[in-house]
Amino acid sequence: MKWLIGAFTILATPAAAQTTPLFASDEPLKLTITGPLGDIARTAERSVEPRDASLTLGGTAETYPIKLAPRGITRRKREICTFPPLRVEFPQKPAATSLFAHQSRLKLVTHCRSSEDFQQHLLLEYSAYRIFNLITPTSLKARLLAVDYVDPQAKRTTSRWGMFLEDYDDAAHRLGLTRANVGDRVAANQLQARQAATVALFQYMIGNLDWSMRAGPAGEGCCHNSRLLAAKTPGLIPVPYDFDYSGLVDAPYAAVPEGFKVESVRERSYQGYCWLNNDVIAVAAEFRARRPAINALFGQIPGMTERTARNAVAYLNEFYAEIATDDSLRSKILKQCL
């Protein structure tokens, strides 16, 4: 399978470090995870206790002992997801020659529920990461997974799509940056303008309102569904994640956050700052240049149905109509700035 990575290569930073082996390819990875998965799913809402499990790399004899635990908040609730997102920990350091070299803890995004519709929602969330990769290298990588979940107690194997997310420290190292040491909130003028403008326009593009690049929940640090990286030059660099509440993904459980005057997550509302407007106009040209590659991406994601791909492209076409010219960008989007 050929993947569109050319735009990423063009934007790569010369000083950037090498990507960890796990995220050096966009080819889907086949895995088998064996453990007490039924127990983990049933108790996820009340317990995040790690359980002993194993991970086997498909097509090889490589098997790793792992600790497996549910994670997240909303998707740990049984009424939302019958199968929670997971955290995979390697108690023993993988060998330097392993695909999992340099990995200690990984976020595994799972299918939430067993129906085919939820498989499509996961693939759409994966596409959001890939879109942002095409727009800027200052983004998290995601590795698509074909996972066989084996529960020896239930004597059952379940096969579903999933994805690993790049660790923020690994992303910072790859980009020649460091994780910023900040509290629960930062001032808007502390943000690096170009990246902040890119994030704001991207979040509008995918119809996401469930984020902040300035603040996080009390006591949980900054920021909500994004993290701040730092360089030697001034300006904090926001890098977003967790796009399941976006209009592009349109998960059944996704609700409009409090304080927004829209009726559906499919309805866009711009959350960028007015002082970023000139930078947004500049980055919009890059968004327009990436449009063919982004549209083509949806026809190349394994498991994504033609209907899902067609609907996703149609949703993004609405965005591209709004940024078709600088004047339309100003009148349709930037007039809403904060």
Question: What is the model's pLDDT at position 17?
Answer: 66
CATH number assigned to the domain covering 177-336:
1.10.1070
Question: What is the model's pLDDT at position 2?
Answer: 30
Q: What confidence category does residue 322 fall into, taking pLDDT thresholds of 50, 70 and 90?
A: very high
Q: Please say whether the beta carbons of 63 and 55 come within 8 A.
A: yes
> Which tokens belong to 250?
């349109």
142: pLDDT strictly greater than 60: yes
128: pLDDT strictly greater than 70: yes
pLDDT in tens, 151-197: 999 888 999 999 999 999 999 999 999 999 998 899 999 999 999 99
318: pLDDT strictly greater than 80: yes
pLDDT in tens, 22-51: 999 999 999 999 999 999 999 999 999 999
16: pLDDT strictly greater than 70: no
Instruction: Name beta bridge partners: 53.
Output: 66
12: pLDDT strictly greater than 80: no
Q: What is the mean pLDDT of residues 124-141?
A: 98
174-179-185-191 Cα dihedral, nearest 10 degrees: -50
Is the peptide bond preceding residue 222 cis, with omega within 30 degrees of 0? no
pLDDT in tens, 75-125: 999 999 999 999 999 999 999 999 999 999 999 999 999 999 999 999 999
pLDDT in tens, 244-271: 999 999 999 999 999 999 999 999 999 9
Higher pLDDT among residues 270 and 5, named by residue? 270
Percent of the chain with pLDDT over 90: 88
102: left (phi over 0), alpha (psi -120 to 50) or beta: left
Per domain, the residue ranges of the chain are 27-110+139-169, 177-336
pLDDT in tens, 216-237: 887 778 999 999 999 998 999 9
Q: What confidence category does residue 3 fall into, taking pLDDT thresholds of 50, 70 and 90?
A: very low
CA nearest neighbour of 200 among 146, 275, 109, 302: 275
Question: What is the model's pLDDT at position 156?
Answer: 86
Distance CA 298, CA 304 (A): 8
Q: What confidence category does residue 5 fall into, taking pLDDT thresholds of 50, 70 and 90?
A: very low
Q: What confidence category does residue 60 fall into, taking pLDDT thresholds of 50, 70 and 90?
A: confident
